[in-house]
Amino acid sequence: MKERVVPAAASIAIMTLALYSAACGDGETTTPTPTAPAPASPTLVASPTAAPTPTALPTVAASPTAAAQASPTPCPQYPLTPAVGALAANLNQAIARWNQWIGCAVFALDPTGTQPGVIAVDFAPAEIQDNGWAQFSGGTVYLAPPTSLPPNSAQPYANDFDMLTCVVMHGLGHILGYQDDATGAPLIMRPLSWAWWPPSSCSTPDSP
């Protein structure tokens, strides 16, 4: 009798194990899935290969143009209005060159002069004469024609479109806070050290 009981209990135990093993078998079916991350390792190995790319970026940032474009994140905005209608053409040129050089729309033309804080651009009164050639005071940019003809042109300065544009650019530089001959200022701000000022052309504020 005892011999029959034992096998019966053993068979129950075997069936129970079979059930557990079946349950565990279902659980283990999902186990192989985490094995998948193993192939990800070669991907990580490839990452250090791409690391030299960021190293090359500071070399690109060394360009003065790129640095100028990156620094002024909040772009200040100065609306300009020509006190003399004909100056609008010079202003358009000067505005475009400054905005491109800085990398944002720091200047904008306001032909009607109605925007808040608009800055007038005008020819200087006689008392200013040719001191500084272009000044920014009292919310107005004053363009001062010289009392003598420029050394490299037979035309009166005020009638030379390109030269006048350069002087306008100089005046706009004063709005930005550049002082005459200041260290680090673009070349358009160096009239005192230039024998040939104003330049006959200035495609950018820092053109030689």
Which residue lies nearer to Zn ion by CB, 21 or 129? 129
Which residue lies nearer to Zn ion by CB, 132 or 205? 132
Cα-based torsion angle of the residue sequence 198, 107, 128, 204 in order, rounded to the nearest 10 degrees: -10
Nearest to residue 170, comparing CAs of 90, 100, 116, 111?
A: 90
Which residue lies nearer to Zn ion by CB, 115 or 190? 190
Which residue lies nearer to Zn ion by CB, 162 or 180? 180
Write out the binding residues for Zn ion, residues 104-133 only, by CB under 5 A. 132
CB 169 within 8 A of CB 90: no
DSSP state, residue 34: G
CA dist 98 and 63 (Å) reads 17
Of 122, 162, 180, 206, the one binding Zn ion (CB under 5 A) is 180
Cβ 118 to Zn ion shortest distance, Å: 21
Cβ 121 to Zn ion shortest distance, Å: 14
Positions touching Zn ion (CB under 5 A) are 132, 180
